Homo-oligomer: A and B are copies of this chain.
Amino acid sequence: MEKVKIAILGFGNVGTGVWKILKENKKEIMKRSNYEIEVAKILVKDINKKRDIAISKEILTDNIDDIINDESIKIVVELIGGRGEAKQYMIRAMKAKKHIVTANKLVIANWSDELFKIAEEEKVLFYYEASVAGGIPIIREINESLTANRIQQIIGIINGTTNYILSKMTNDGIGFEEALKEAQEKGYAEADPTSDVDGYDAVYKLAIMASLSFGTKINHDAIYREGIRSISSLDIEYAKKFGYTIKLLAIAKEENSKLELRVHPTLIPSNHPMANVNDVFNAIMIKGNAVGELMLYGRGAGDLPTGSAVVGDIISILRNNVKPADISEVSEESNFKEIKKPEENEAEFYIRLNVKDRAGVLGDTAKIFGENNVSIISMTQDVSREDDVPLAFITHKSTEKNIRNSLEKIKSLENVNRVESIIRIESFN
């Protein structure tokens, strides 16, 4: 059997996962790829660092040139992450005629067009399945399985950290800060959790999926973003009363060539399969005009799940598989699609006010909603304290503009203390 040499850039969590899989499943991988894969070089920062994995020091290098200049290396697996070096190394490797596999969402979301163009010119393959949702093969799904469809919607739980936090808050009744601390102790959240908790991570992944699905390059800055810091235990409890569960969703919809792109906490019906996606699991629901609703559920991070996607890509290159769809290619076709402004978006809403328990407060509030074309489906009120009463509503579909206008006026009512929460609802229609 022919041998093929590969190099891995970065030997952290995912890098060691890839190493383990190549070793543990060697027999299966040989059978499926028709090659014996040899990891010839691994780029690390510190060659002498103590590692859990027994690995010959000759394989390790701290000099990228050792890899770029080695003509026997055919595939470079980029697992450094981040923006700077990773991108430059991939470009240099492609110019040295090496195929690329990467798990780097930042680089793909920012410079996919530039990178794919170079791959095209250099006639090398560029795979990036692991850049979105770890072990879930969503890129292949969009690029190869759903080719018969016009994709209409993507709705995903694509950040494991926030899903863990919201699951804990929902199932154990604890608050955001406590749940975040737990996530940090378990290694699911960083010391600075901004990227996950404030929705940036989900925004990058949504930009990649939406670009592929709608055939137009989407700038991640154009995606509306709201994190989960302001979600309170009370919201979770009230959502449950109304029959909903709160999840951080990444949503992309196309209607009449207009796109709706947003990442925010969302109430979803508790009997929908996505409501049972708990802990660090991810799930992505795609709606195509032929296939209808299709959902993928699995582990969105971790050494072995993400490694599964990376090694799958290596095998695809060796099997000389189809070239993955090229974001830059589609964006050149002048099929520009307008992105709707947030205030044009329509959704059902969950709204929680804090009011004084006085006769007329519900009537006054309802009147203002009505005047702004917002109609109410249900209402719940907890009258345990007289001057500090939660009053929550579920509305019919309304524009965000009408909701904001209503609340502007409701806020100034004498018996309304505050608007505490405004959370969108997704009913998967």
Contacts and interface: CB of A to CB of B under 8 A. Distances in A.
A290 B21 contact: yes
A10 interface: no
A181 interface: no
Interface of chain A: mostly helix, strand, loop or mixed: mixed
A117 interface: no
Interface stretch (A81-89, A224-232, A273-281, A397-405): A273-281
A322 interface: yes
Contacts of A297: 273, 293-297
A288 B141 CA distance: 18
Contact of A292 (B25, B33, B299, B325): B299
Interface stretch (A189-197, A310-318, A366-374, A384-392): A310-318
Q: How many copies, total? A: 2
A150 interface: yes
A273 B32 CA distance: 31
B307 A148 contact: yes
Given A290-B25, A311-B290, A147 B275 contact: no
A136 B28 CA distance: 24
Most buried by B among A28, A135, A271, A322: A135
The 6 closest A-B pairs by CB, nearest first: A148-B311, A137-B145, A290-B308, A294-B298, A295-B297, A291-B308
Interface of A: 17, 21, 24-25, 28-29, 31-33, 129, 135-137, 140-141, 144-150, 215, 271-273, 275-278, 283, 288-299, 302, 304-305, 307-312, 314-316, 319-322, 325
